[in-house]
Amino acid sequence: MGIDSPRRSGPDTPAVAILGTGSYLPSHVVTNDEIGAPAGVDDEWITRKTGIRERRFAKGDEATSDMAVMAARNALEDAGIRAAQLSQIIVATSTPDSPQPATAAHVAHHLDAPPTAAAFDVNAVCAGFTYALAMAHRMAAADGGHALVIGADMYSRYTDPADRRTRVLLGDGAGAVVIGPSPGPGRVVATRLLNFSEGLDLVKVPAGGTRLGTSHATLDDRLHYFAMDGRGVVDIVRAKLPGLLSDFLDEAGVSKEDIAHLVPHQGNGMMLRTLEQDLALPRARMHTTVAVYGNTGAASIPVTLDDAARTGALRDGGKVLLAAFGGGFTFGLVLIDW
């Protein structure tokens, strides 16, 4: 188990805040009836099991970087920041355009970012955005620069159409934030990143890397598709996250009653209902987009945060908690003074 103690913005730490949010969802809406037929399930079954009514799939000529660029442009516009002002571009994804170069390099190219802007990817699967945001926060606090943090995933290319356990859950999308020096709303207060390796095999794409390369056998055995032990994921999240959250808030000097908004990873609508009860945040409003976008991997938290921000659900001064979990098995917590 790896533990990253909460990093807090103290009185001597330059304030770094979220200056703008943005998102992009592909235009193609995929209904439960459409996606369920090849998997042998119908709308009633999918809705009852997952709480998902529809999701978005990218067009055939779209790549992860294309979605990331669109979300990035929306976030930059919202922040009033130009790409030329960026010091870092970090893309959280487990579905990159290709093994190399980094998807962030494509984003930097299309945004015409300066060569002084570092561009790299982070893969913590569905917790990737919180990992990237924590890293960007520390770098921005150190150098006073602006960072573009993007979560983007295109799971429609990695799910088996016949696998009802995964195909009906996942969709495509991208979300982004711009962070930089600011004492105003959106200040990142504390972050915590963790990994529990006993859950290493709960979420995976078995083949296509250096451990198990591509062959006729791996293709025939469908080992290049996303695979997940759903029950195992629920068990480890329920066993670990409530305690991790309590410790995180205690060490950050914040009570559960202080949390006004919860933005969790949008893994499964039914799971989120249970998670809301487990976390026991009495005054927090839980924000969800899973019913209409499905699980968009690393994009799910920034997409949902952007939705909440743009609909006016977030108020200045309210404490926002981001809570993510993903393959590895990773957890990421971020506390924001909105």
Catalytic machinery residues: 126, 265, 295
In degrees and rounded to multiples of 5, residue 261 shows phi and psi of -140, 135
The identity of residue 58, as a single letter, is A
Which of these, 37, 39, 272, 267, lies nearest to 171 by C-alpha position?
267
The identity of residue 142, as a single letter, is A
Distance of CA 163 to the CA centre of its chain: 23
Please report, for residues 40, 167, 225, 276, the alpha-carbon distance to residue 162 in angstroms, rounded to integers and kept in the order given. 8, 7, 11, 31
Which of these, 165, 161, 152, 178, lies nearest to 58 by C-alpha position?
152
Task: Report the distance separating Cα 87 and Cα 72, nearest Å.
Answer: 14
How would you classify the pairing of strands 28-31 and 187-195?
unpaired
